[in-house]
Amino acid sequence: MSIIHTKNITKIYTETSVPVNALNGVTLDVEKGEFTSIVGPSGSGKTTLLNIIGGLDSPTEGNIIIDQTDLGTLSDSELISFRLSHIGFVFQAYNLIPVLTARENVEFIMQLQGRSKKECHERAESLLHAVGLQDRMDNRPSELSGGQQQRVAVARALASKPKFVLADEPTANLDSKSTANLLDIMYRLNQEEHITFIFSTHDQRVIDRALRIVTLEDGKIIKDETH
Partner 1 sequence: MWTIIKISWKNVWRNPVRSGVVITAVMLGIWAGIFIVGFTNGMSQQRLKDQLDTYTGHIQVHTPAFVSDKKVSQYIPDGDSVLAQLRRTPGVVAAIPHTVATGLASSSTNSYGSTIVGVDPNAESTVLTLPHKLVEGNFFTEDKRFPVVIGKSLAKRLNVHMGSKIVLTFQDTTNNITASAFRIVGIFKTSNNTYDESHVFIRSSDLNNLLGTHDLIHEIVIKTTDAHQAPAIAKKMQQQFPSLSVQSWQEVAPELRLLDSTIKLEIYIFMTILVLALALGIVNTMLMAILERTRELGMLMAVGMNKKRVFGMIVAETFFLSFVGAPLGIFFSWITIKLTGNYGINLSVVARGLSQFGYGSIIYPILDNAYYFHIALMMVAAALLSAVYPAIKALRLRPVQAIRKM
> By the criterion CB under 8 A, which residues form the site for partner 1?
51, 54, 56-57, 76-77, 80-81, 83-85, 89, 91, 93, 95, 97-100, 108-109, 111-113, 156, 160
Instruction: Name which of 128 and 166 has its Cβ closer to partner 1.
Output: 166
6: nearest Cα among 56, 60, 49: 49
**Please, what is the minimum distance in Å from the beta carbon of residue 26 to partner 1?**
17
**Please, what is the minimum distance in Å from the beta carbon of residue 54 to partner 1?**
7
**Please, what is the minimum distance in Å from the beta carbon of residue 51 to partner 1?**
5
Instruction: Name which of 139 and 180 has its Cβ closer to partner 1.
Output: 139
Instruction: Name which of 118 and 227 has its Cβ closer to partner 1.
Output: 118
**Please, what is the minimum distance in Å from the beta carbon of residue 23 to partner 1?**
14
Instruction: Name which of 200 and 210 has its Cβ closer to partner 1.
Output: 200
49: nearest Cα among 172, 181, 168, 209: 168
